[in-house]
Structure 1
């Protein structure tokens, strides 16, 4: 099962649309995981129309309409992998410890908010992934998103994709 992982898209505030390579990855993925900060309902509708399966949450920049359609935390099982998606996890200090305590029944936690790519493993085995942002790189050298493969309850082949400058 192929995953596309993104967050902090901020359309239309930071970009008019998602970059073409990200749309192609959305089209190719079995499941799209979006960790919030969509900003506009039209982007949620567009991604939902193109994704085979969408698991998304709202972020701190998402208004009442998005919050009415999306949860703060989403939980799903994908090919035996227990996944949670949330927008914000707090400061990077002790993140693994804090998230492992908050999500003890998960194998993978996808999060956003910081716009900083992150890939780590808590002592409990919880894998934490943040795809960065495809539209607002802030202090990062590149705008980014992630892809990953899930099989038999394991996530592997996690790849950070750099997007060309706009």
Structure 2
């Protein structure tokens, strides 16, 4: 099962449409995960045209998005338990991952997905896959835009980032 993982789209301020590089991967996705800061429900509608969408709200999302998604979500797809959170809160942006981990303290997970920092992360910690897709539309100080691809099979997950320089 192929899952496309995004966060921090900040649309329409940072881009008027989903980037072409992301659209190519969405065509074959079986599910989509968004880790917050959509900023407009039209992003959900655009993604939902491709596959089922699971997500959470971020600190830049309005009441409509918060009501629809909430700030923390647990899902299980193909036997893989995933926690999704944006990662915002008190403290500095460098504390984002620690806040994301704290949000699921004492919860058995295979994957933790978070956003907020716009910094791509892919690492394993004590058997937990920790993943931040970066942003497909707002790279901030990163050299490239990014999002993620998960492949799920028989209760296992492999993950990678897709990097690109043109957000059109």
Q: Verify same fold: TM over 0.5.
A: yes
Partner of residue 58, structure 1: 57
Count of residue pairs the alignment pairs up: 163
SS in 2 for 1:28: coil
State how 1:1-166 maps to structure 2 within 5 Å: 1-48=1-48, 50-88=49-87, 92=94, 95=97, 99=101, 102=105, 104-123=107-126, 125-156=127-158, 158-166=159-167
- Large movers: runs of 4+ above 6 Å: none
1:93 positional shift: 5.9
Instruction: Assess, with a 3 A threshold, how the Cα gap between structure 1 residues 103 and 13 changes in structure 2: closer, same or farther.
Output: farther
Q: CA deviation at 1:25?
A: 1.4
Q: CA deviation at 1:27?
A: 2.2
What TM-score does the superposition give when structure 2 sets the normalisation length?
0.88
CA contact (8 A) 2:75 2:82 kept: yes
Q: What value does the CA root-mean-square deviation take over the aligned residues? A: 2.1
Structure 1 stretches lacking a partner, 5+ long: none
CA distance in 1, matches of 2:113, 2:60: 18
Q: Quick one: structure 1 residues 109 and 53, their matched pair in 2 at CA, closer, same or farther if it must change by over 3 Å?
A: same
Q: Residues 23 and 76 from structure 1, CA distance in 2 versus in 1: closer, same or farther, beyond 3 angstroms? A: same
